[in-house]
Amino acid sequence: MPKLFIMKFPSPVSIQWIADFLDAELIGDKNGQATGINEIHKVESGDLVFVDHPKYYSTCIESAASFIIINKVVDVPAGKALVVVKEPFEAYLRIVRHFRPFEPAVKPVSDTAVIGEGTYVYPNSFIGHHVTIGRNCRIHPGVTILDYCEIGDNVVVQAGSVIGSDAFYYNTKKDREVWYKKMESCGRVVIGDDVEIGAGCTIDRGVSHDTRIGRGTKIDNMVHIGHDTVIGKNCLLAAQVGIAGAVDIGDGVILWGQVGISKTLRIGDHAIVLAQSGVPSSLEGGKVYFGYPAEEAGLKKREIVWIKRIPELWKKVMG
């Protein structure tokens, strides 16, 4: 059987083989070929996805995924297949572990890493298995770049940053002794050309897709970027910005210091979010935002002025 490479298989895998491997019942298109494994936020046609809660059955079945690991027999659309097992999450993990087994490190820079001409890796850095680093990069002391990550040309990674740490992503069930079970990460971090990453940053790999940083983006110190997040070209992220998982950030976006961004939302091209703002929902591009919840800065500042006048107005009302 082929080895898994990020969310895609190097060659299609028979869904019948997957069902047999999992000791599962196969319903629907039994001749299908799975091209990859993915989680629901990133699924594409040909993907295998899992669902273990009735609340999300319809979402998974109606998604672009062609094959659904599920714990109940339900109606399945033409051209798709159900892989029915008692514990879909455990089945998902079994597939990940089979195609992407743990590979221990035996030296600071793996023999499988490919490092381009003119790139300098400082002492005390760690470069994992199957990492690719482009030309003319500077990888400073104490940097960790974990397995399968991909770094472009002319990239600077300052001291102590970690690229490719596991996603903070857990399967939750309150009817078992351990409520939160880790959803193992088999995605990558892909960093474009001319990116600069400050000191002490953490960039999580995708769960089964890629976390991506676009060309020319500059990231200050102590920034966290969650799993499967995609950041566009020529963005600017100031210190202590925190971005949750599966966020889509357009080109030319500026996030000033200590901005916090919730999961699975989009920020449009050329938006600016001022310091210490909180973003719980998507924002249109081309505007300046401030506060929590982040709103257009002009409106938010006028709101603050009126809030400050409440005591004065209260005295007038009460006479």
319: pLDDT strictly greater than 70: no
Q: Residue 127: helix, strand or coil by DSSP? A: strand
Task: Based on the residue annotation, tell me whether 130 is a catalytic residue of this protein.
Answer: no
Q: Is the pLDDT of residue 68 over 70?
A: yes
CA distances, 186 to each of 41, 60, 164, 229 (Å) = 15, 20, 10, 15
Catalytic residue from among 140, 209, 224, 227: 227
- Give the model's confidence band at 110: pLDDT under 50 very low, under 70 low, under 90 confident, else very high: very high
Hey, how many other C-beta atoms are within 10 angstroms of the C-beta on 275? Answer: 14
- Enumerate domains of the chain plus CATH numbers: 8-99 (3.40.1390.10), 114-302 (2.160.10.10)
**pLDDT for 206:** 94
Distance from the Cα of residue 274 to its chain's centroid: 23
Element (H, E) at 139: strand 138-139
Confidence of residue 230 (pLDDT cuts 50, 70, 90): very high
CA neighbours closer than 13 Å in the CB half-sphere of residue 299: 8
pLDDT score of 298 more than 60: yes
Q: What average pLDDT does the chain have?
A: 93
* Stated pTM of the model: 0.90
